Chains A and B, each alone.
Chain A
Amino acid sequence: MSDMSMDSAAPRRSSKSLHEVDARTRRRNAAETRFKACGIGAIAIGLFFLVVLVVAIFRSGLPAFTQTVLDVEFALTQEQYEDAESQLFKTKAYSQAFNGALKTQLDESGVTLPFDEASIERIAGKVGGTIREYFRANEDQLGQPTSFQLAASSRVDGYMTGRVTRDGFQDSRFLTLADLDLVDALEDAGIIRTQFNWNFITGADSGVDNPGGAGIGASVVGSFFMMLVVLFLSLPIGVAASIYLEEFAPRNRFTDLIEVNISNLAAVPSIVFGILGLAVFIQFMHLPQSAPVVGGLVLTLMTLPTIIISTRASLNAVPPSIRDAALGLGASRMQSVFHHVLPLAMPGILTGTIIGLAQALGETAPLLLIGMVGFVARGYPDSFIDGFVEPNSAMPAQIYTWAARADAAFYDKAWGGIIILLMFLLTMNIIAIILRRRFERRW
């Protein structure tokens, strides 16, 4: 190209000092500044919603981690025990003995407030039954002072955590204003107090009338066994399928069709997988109902497309020149894939897998369809194998069940369950980041 053609092609640039910014540059800089401001604004809005979400979750969920208990020290003599066992209403006799002890303890602290059995029952539930059970199991403890920690009812719990207030309080058969006075007095006397609720983390689901005893532990175990199934099925199957499709399969109509279908599967609503699982795994294959292994199978079906898509994307992102280099040295296709391509794709594959697992961990609808509802989670499995086949629930299904229950205290439990679930997700994401770093260090 000659100088002539250069001149005629572009308008001449005026040569001005570099110290003055010309109008065009100023406009471009202004546009850039505006764009940056928009970006910062977008991030700020995102962060704001995140903070609101986190605050809301913790405000609503933290009460689930505390528990109101009545701490009463109390001795039952041999005669009292025999006397109570000989009566017709046995638990009533135990209740009376307990109330006596409570009254003494209250009097000692200088408060005199009359209370009856009914109000204690409203505050602490049917204490007689608990006490009787304890002494029947531990007869050697008779006559010894034993300290009992009795869970307060959900309304008293709500009063202590601020969910129930005196403003506009109406007496009901569950709680009266007089009861609240008694609770205040018991609190002053140090008999009622709130403590960390380990049972919420380690326990199993309770009945609908006992929100205080509800724990998420059993369904955490259910989720764990489900995730084991998902991980050990979907990772190898997904990665093998992707490697085959990406590196070995010929490109033709048939593989195109498979490809399109995998993408479509990723968009299928999870409830469809649920009903499919119900039909195939339970009704046709007769696998046990509500079992984590079935949940794991259903979630595997859901997770596979995610893993396949992300694995293929990360295999595809490996520069073809690396494959050429290996093949050019006389490596077989498989050697080129396993020695060179796969290690480079590993961070992407792992990230995709963990995202898939995280989705599966939070999935609720398909689990409800195969019977892994919350109230099934009544205890821990007896053995490792039982963990897969014994009926159990999973965290999100448990949360859903709690949220659907009438007692407002279950609502707190649902929020508490959400906190636990989010902590698991956070842990998984951190693992993903660590694995990514570890593999990326190999350039």
Chain B
Amino acid sequence: MNDMRLLERDVDAKDIKIAARKVQVYYADTHAIKDVDVDIEDKTVTAFIGPSGCGKSTFLRCLNRMNDTIDICRVEGDIRIDGEDIYDAKVDPVQLRAKVGMVFQKPNPFPKSIYDNIAYGPRIHGLARSKADLDDIVEKSLRRGAIWDEVKDRLHAPGTGLSGGQQQRLCIARAVATEPEVLLMDEPCSALDPIATSQVEELIDELRQEFSVVIVTHSMQQAARVSQKTAFFHLGNLVEYGETGQIFTTPQDPRTESYITGRIG
């Protein structure tokens, strides 16, 4: 604990929320993530970019141990959140995932009502003391997910009856409702129209005040708009990581340059 306080004093502006060292991920024999070192800062939006299949989702799923659910998946290396090793035997992944929320690449609302979708997380974590409390959380989360106006009249209609983009925003609202400290978002805007996209981006910017957000995106413009840090992945390697402005204007690695100018992909 003492080291932690020292660390806090050292880094004056931003704390390191997640520190990953020498992370390797294997799917059976496929080496999907190779030797990735990355420090994700608190109260920052970090964007992961890279061509399809390069391992962005895989790495993201390491951060809340969702890869545990895949039998053939093996994770090696060291990932620390607030200095605590999340792959330690003492860590309960369930507790970890309450702290590190996730929005998945494909929208996956529960086949329950819109209200129950949002209320599920707060219910199982005991975040609401009363029905009114819960109603409040649901409304606040749906507003943050930029979907309140569209669903406020049909909170008890099935969440699966929404359009693809609405479902994705519902999932964002659902992830926000549990008040995670880190929010992992896997291409949250890929099914959204420009208006909803900009609403979600506003949300991400707002979340940055309290949380750290990691977002995977295929849109260079989006990465440039919302993130402060950008990581470029290629074939399982973290090729380049740095300030977003620097990555997009003066990339150090030729691979990064060809990707952002549209030559790999």
Contact = CB atoms under 8 A, between A and B. Distances in A.
Interface of A: 250-251, 319, 321-333, 335, 339-340, 344, 442-443
B69 A443 contact: no
Contact of B69 (A319, A323, A329, A442): A323
B204 interface: no
A331 B178 CA distance: 11
B160 A329 contact: no
Given A321-B108, A324-B66, A325-B109, A332 B94 contact: yes
28 contacts: A250-B71, A251-B71, A321-B106, A322-B108, A322-B111, A324-B69, A325-B171, A325-B174, A326-B110, A326-B120, A327-B66, A327-B94, A327-B97, A328-B66, A328-B97, A328-B101, A328-B175, A329-B98, A329-B178, A330-B94, A330-B98, A330-B99, A330-B178, A331-B94, A331-B120, A335-B124, A339-B124, A443-B112
Contacts of B108: 319, 321-322, 324-325
A325 B104 contact: yes
Interface of B: 64, 66, 69, 71, 94-95, 97-99, 101-102, 104, 106, 108-112, 120-121, 124-125, 158, 160-161, 171, 174-175, 178
Contact of A328 (B95, B102, B125, B160): B102
Nearest to A321: B108
A49 B112 CA distance: 44
Closest 8 CB pairs between A and B?
A330-B98, A321-B108, A328-B102, A329-B121, A330-B97, A325-B108, A443-B111, A443-B158
B66 A330 contact: no
A442 B104 contact: no
A305 B150 CA distance: 48
**Main SS at interface, chain A:** helix
Contacts of A344: 111
A328 B110 contact: no
A293 B126 CA distance: 45
A206 B125 CA distance: 65
A373 B84 CA distance: 69
B124 A331 contact: yes
Contacts of B106: 321
B64 A328 contact: yes
Contacts of A250: 71
A321 B102 CA distance: 12
A253 to B, nearest CB: 14
A330 B125 contact: yes
Nearest to A331: B124
Contacts of A335: 124
